[in-house]
């Protein structure tokens, strides 16, 4: 028997989808709502290997996307032990029809749920009273409401801490790395780049990833390879904040003004020492002075005159 899952056209107008989800997020969320493992109750068992096979993503990308939906979007819960996933707003996209067949199916599928703590996560967002009542029969509503209040208090405390940290560490108008990437001409974020950005944000910070992209934009090298080299350099230098990154760049510039060498006894000539992450091929080649034919000819003439003055041209000692 064929299974059907409903997704409203309003999905594309949802502010959270429009403003907060990347193209990869939208694709993955639609997959979670419509894949063949889904059930009538919005709680189903699925392995990460199956997700990887169905979507074409690597296991690492699936892990990163799941973590993003659990911690950032906060619209799913995944139990890695029972391999069960719960879609919080499942009732928003389903349960448009009622009747005894639907009620019997819901009751039957709820009995097979291994992690019972997932049931209230979906149940509390269901609007149809007769279906909501079945969910509530599987948990103590009084206890759940008390837990919800405690969770709300904890969330409020965490939000206050995060707001305070944002004021101290970053400007209020800070843009996300993914948004900066797409808005500044780097291109569309694919699965690999999204995975790399998430990993660098975890290893360093969102602010440092954006700062590396700004340097790439200013250098005219708007590609991920250039950004990645900057981040590798900062990671090796143990850079933790934007201020430390700026201090490192300033120290490098100051060191360049003090680097001189002597050539042919003619006096000090400044020599450029490029940072480890710099690649001339990213921003265009740098033409050397010796590549200029006029300068090369003049140099050759001067060398001949110098030989004659020293007597080298007449065979003198």
* 55-114 pLDDT, tens digit each: 999 999 999 999 999 999 999 999 999 999 999 988 776 776 667 888 888 889 999 999
Structure tokens at 214: 């700004």
Closest among 5, 84, 4, 86 to 46, alpha carbons compared:
84
Quote the pLDDT of residue 92: 72
The band of 276, judged by pLDDT with boundaries at 50, 70 and 90, is: low
Kindly report the backbone phi and psi dihedral angles of residue 23, in degrees, each rounded to the nearest multiple of 5, phi listed first. -55, -40
**Tens-digit pLDDT profile for residues 283-306:** 544 344 445 566 667 667 777 766
Q: What's the CA dihedral at 163, 146, 72, 211 to 10 degrees? A: 20
**Tens-digit pLDDT profile for residues 15-63:** 888 889 999 999 999 999 999 999 989 999 999 999 999 999 999 999 9
Quote the pLDDT of residue 215: 92
CATH 1.10.10.630 fits 177-256, yes or no: yes
pTM (2 d.p.): 0.45
Domain ranges across the chain: 9-156, 177-256
DSSP E strands, the chain:
43-45, 76-79, 84-87, 260-262, 268-270
Instruction: Judge whether residue 212 has pLDDT over 50.
Output: yes
């Amino acid at each position: 028997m064929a299974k059907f899952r409903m997704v409203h056209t309003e999905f594309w107008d949802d502010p959270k989808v429009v403003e907060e989800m990347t193209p990869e997020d939208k694709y993955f969320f639609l997959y979670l709502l419509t894949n063949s493992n889904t059930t009538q109750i919005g709680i189903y068992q699925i392995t990460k290997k199956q997700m990887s096979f169905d979507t074409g993503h690597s296991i690492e990308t699936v892990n990163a996307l799941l973590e993003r939906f659990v911690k950032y979007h906060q619209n799913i819960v995944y139990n890695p032990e029972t391999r069960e996933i719960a879609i919080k707003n499942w009732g928003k996209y389903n349960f448009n029809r009622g009747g005894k067949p639907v009620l019997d199916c819901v009751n039957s599928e709820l009995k097979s749920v291994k992690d019972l703590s997932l049931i209230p996560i979906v149940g509390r967002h269901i609007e149809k009273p007769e279906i909501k009542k079945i969910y509530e029969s599987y948990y103590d509503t009084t206890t759940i409401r008390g837990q919800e209040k405690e969770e709300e208090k904890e969330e409020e405390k965490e939000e206050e801490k995060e707001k305070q940290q944002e004021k101290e560490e970053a400007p209020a108008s800070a843009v996300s790395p993914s948004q900066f990437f797409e808005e500044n001409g780097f291109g569309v974020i694919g699965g690999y780049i999204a995975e790399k950005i998430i990993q660098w944000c975890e290893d360093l910070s969102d602010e440092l990833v954006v700062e590396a992209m700004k340097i790439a934009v200013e250098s005219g090298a708007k590609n991920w390879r250039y950004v990645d080299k900057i981040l590798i350099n900062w990671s090796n230098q143990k850079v933790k904040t934007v201020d430390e990154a700026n201090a490192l760049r300033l120290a490098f510039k100051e060191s360049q003004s003090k680097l001189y060498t002597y050539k042919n006894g003619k006096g000090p000539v400044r020599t450029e020492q490029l940072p480890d992450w710099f690649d001339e091929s990213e921003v265009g080649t740098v033409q050397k002075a010796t590549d200029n034919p006029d300068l090369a000819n003049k140099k050759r003439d001067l060398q001949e005159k110098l030989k004659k003055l020293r007597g080298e041209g007449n065979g003198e000692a």
